[in-house]
Structure 1
């Protein structure tokens, strides 16, 4: 009978993740098939041939490794079942035939297809889309379980059940819609590949986008946050500084802050492009911004603030880990200040707009960036303005503190 093992091949670059694969050995002939998962060498136990979670692993990475472990178990289970079927048939078979049967099964159902699609997206460098689809797939698996979903069962009733599950677990309508839209995109790809007939499974679930309640805190809360003594809590101090930096820069998003480079400041002007929209933003550099930058030693980094610490080493994962850590600390600080809402980096963006509006700064100047129905409207307003008008507005708001 064929045997199944998980193999780890480290990257030739020591700082990068190695790849995991399934090895099938039958009649002394070994064949391997990649399963799309990667881990670092210290996350692999060679003696037990399994992924481990080392002590001190942060929460985000821990969740990722748990997903990898579960995924490996699913794949091994699928291969074992194929081998059992081939053994029961009484016919001779090869390790190559096991792999062929495994690959053909990858599109036999919706969950398998999602895994295969995500693997393909990662292989061609579309990591962001792959990450989005992975988050959605994991949510769906929490609802349905790791078992396969036959294509004929992907219908409107199933999606309504999933929507009810999300609601019962406290998922807001916009997040539920986000998952549904991603599932729909993956399902439509499968239809285009003629893997299934279109059964319009999303016709009875919500796939729109509701207006969200503005997440702004009062001006006095911003002052209390700024003046809070956090010298004994470096992580919280950094989180507060990142929040204030976002506020000072007209609500700059966390991803843009994380990837700001020192060269983005020229002649007293901060100039960058938004990661989300590629929109060009110009901000007058104020002393409050410089005071925050001066607190941190980034002499050996091209980045302005200490959020991406290992340059060139999976910077996206570093950014996600930093975002999680910053927001976790901000929520703790928010409770300390007695705020009625969770404090996150995004609150800085809403708060800037709210204060600007309360001071009768023209809507065209603040562009209702946090209240417009679409990003395109915001871009149209900002693109047509003299940036000096925006800089004056920003200076006025900062001066109120």
Structure 2
């Protein structure tokens, strides 16, 4: 049904000073909605027959300009709804007009996200958005608005990524980051939800089956028993350190490398490690197993606040430097872990990430409730996982972790 839009004075609701409000009057499906403009007039200054200010009305030209602008805004929004064949209520119409979309380019919006993440010291996440930004910049100009990113654009971008030799998992990461960007833009009213292209472009089609990344409890025992001196005649400190990082992660609820790097002495309370995950900010607490305690004691240094010799605030003062330092140590550790895995004939390359998956898999095979361990499986729905973890008492987790060795 047609929407009737007028701007008039509402004489039914005079104010205390005797003036009457200028309102936008909307009518559709026999329903009416009145929206005040913030302007009030004396009744003798309004022509109720011609529905406009009288010649003697103060600020008449200004009021007429307001009326013209309001009529234009609502009429244009109605036309936009009609162009996409979308039904709407008067409430929706008012919301769209009175809370307009901010016009911002994709380039500027991505730059803002990256800047905010860096300020929040979420450097790893910022790197994902930087990678997307640089990739999109190479693909096409970024001085576009979000409504320009439609299904055809996404298909062209996917084709471009494939032409550059990217595999499905790499493309999936880019597309999921772009989808997250679009969702943020909708939430912050940088684009209307009507233009959302990811309902018709299926990101999940890009997901490849994850290769096996876990080893058995027996393999863990082999790593513990391994004397790294049998692998190489060179100085063994890095091999031993890599082995210890792997086992500490396995015994520490699958704690990842960046959280290991940031652990300080203050994070140990009554033989428990209590810390906030770098990625999500959620608090994690676990009881230190005897072997994990041995590892910590091996690297104790009274002059260092950090538990492990990875970060040094005097050398790595900025979040970016700290991120790159952890990345470098992880790279070195993975090279050494590969040698360790080969020395005990593992069927898969040993990496720090294998420790996380092995922790989860061993506990799952031991019959532990998956809600306790699913956080370490790399699920995308981390909020749900954290809610599950928050519902368990420490005693339940401590009991469950007895199955690790």
Q: 1:327, 1:343 within 8 Å by CA — same for their partners in 2?
A: no
Residue 361 of structure 2 is aligned to residue 348 of structure 1: no
Q: Match for residue 383 of structure 1? A: 390
> 1:333-357 CA deviation, whole Å, 9 max, x = no partner?
3255234434332211110121122
Structure whose alpha-carbon radius of gyration is higher: 2
Structure 2: which 5+ runs fail to align? Answer: 1-102, 230-234
Q: 2:267, 2:273 within 8 Å by CA — same for their partners in 1?
A: yes
Q: Match for residue 223 of structure 1? A: 221
Offset at residue 246 of structure 1 (A): 0.5
Structure 1: which 5+ runs fail to align? Answer: 1-106
Name which of structure 1's ranges 294-303 and 122-131 shifts more when overlaid on structure 2.
Answer: 122-131
| Residues 327 and 217 (structure 1), Cα distance of their counterparts in 2 relative to 1, 3 Å cut | farther
| Residues 151 and 384 (structure 1), Cα distance of their counterparts in 2 relative to 1, 3 Å cut | closer
Q: 1:119, 1:130 within 8 Å by CA — same for their partners in 2?
A: yes
Offset at residue 137 of structure 1 (A): 1.5
> 1:113-157 CA deviation, whole Å, 9 max, x = no partner?
467536754786576454332121223345x2xx73563875533
| Residues 330 and 267 (structure 1), Cα distance of their counterparts in 2 relative to 1, 3 Å cut | same
| Residues 374 and 215 (structure 1), Cα distance of their counterparts in 2 relative to 1, 3 Å cut | same
Q: Match for residue 269 of structure 1? A: 272
Q: Match for residue 306 of structure 1? A: 309
Q: Match for residue 160 of structure 1? A: 155
Q: 1:253, 1:345 within 8 Å by CA — same for their partners in 2?
A: yes
Q: Which of 322, 325, 331 pairs up with 1:318?
A: 322
Q: Which of 258, 263, 273 pairs up with 1:260?
A: 263
Q: Which of 238, 242, 256 pairs up with 1:239?
A: 242
* Counterpart Cα distance in 2 of 1:276 and 1:283: 18
| Residues 327 and 343 (structure 1), Cα distance of their counterparts in 2 relative to 1, 3 Å cut | farther
Name which of structure 1's ranges 188-197 and 252-261 shifts more when overlaid on structure 2.
Answer: 188-197
Q: Match for residue 132 of structure 1? A: 128
Alpha-carbon RMSD across the aligned residues, in angstroms, is 3.9
* Counterpart Cα distance in 1 of 2:282 and 2:117: 26
* Counterpart Cα distance in 2 of 1:296 and 1:165: 48
| Residues 233 and 204 (structure 1), Cα distance of their counterparts in 2 relative to 1, 3 Å cut | farther
Q: 1:236, 1:333 within 8 Å by CA — same for their partners in 2?
A: yes
Q: 2:136, 2:142 within 8 Å by CA — same for their partners in 1?
A: no
Q: Match for residue 174 of structure 2? A: 179
> What SS does the aligned partner of 2:377 have?
coil
* Counterpart Cα distance in 1 of 2:158 and 2:285: 42
> What SS does the aligned partner of 2:141 have?
coil
Q: Match for residue 144 of structure 2? A: 151
Residues 2-401 of structure 1 correspond to what in structure 2 (within 5 A)?
A: 112-113=107-108, 116-117=111-112, 121=116, 128=123, 130-141=126-137, 144=139, 148-149=141-142, 151=144, 155-167=150-162, 171-186=166-181, 205-208=201-204, 210=207, 212=210, 215-230=213-228, 232-311=235-314, 313-334=317-338, 337-338=341-342, 339-363=346-370, 366=373, 369-370=376-377, 374-398=381-405
| Residues 358 and 116 (structure 1), Cα distance of their counterparts in 2 relative to 1, 3 Å cut | closer
> What SS does the aligned partner of 2:174 have?
helix
* Counterpart Cα distance in 1 of 2:120 and 2:374: 35
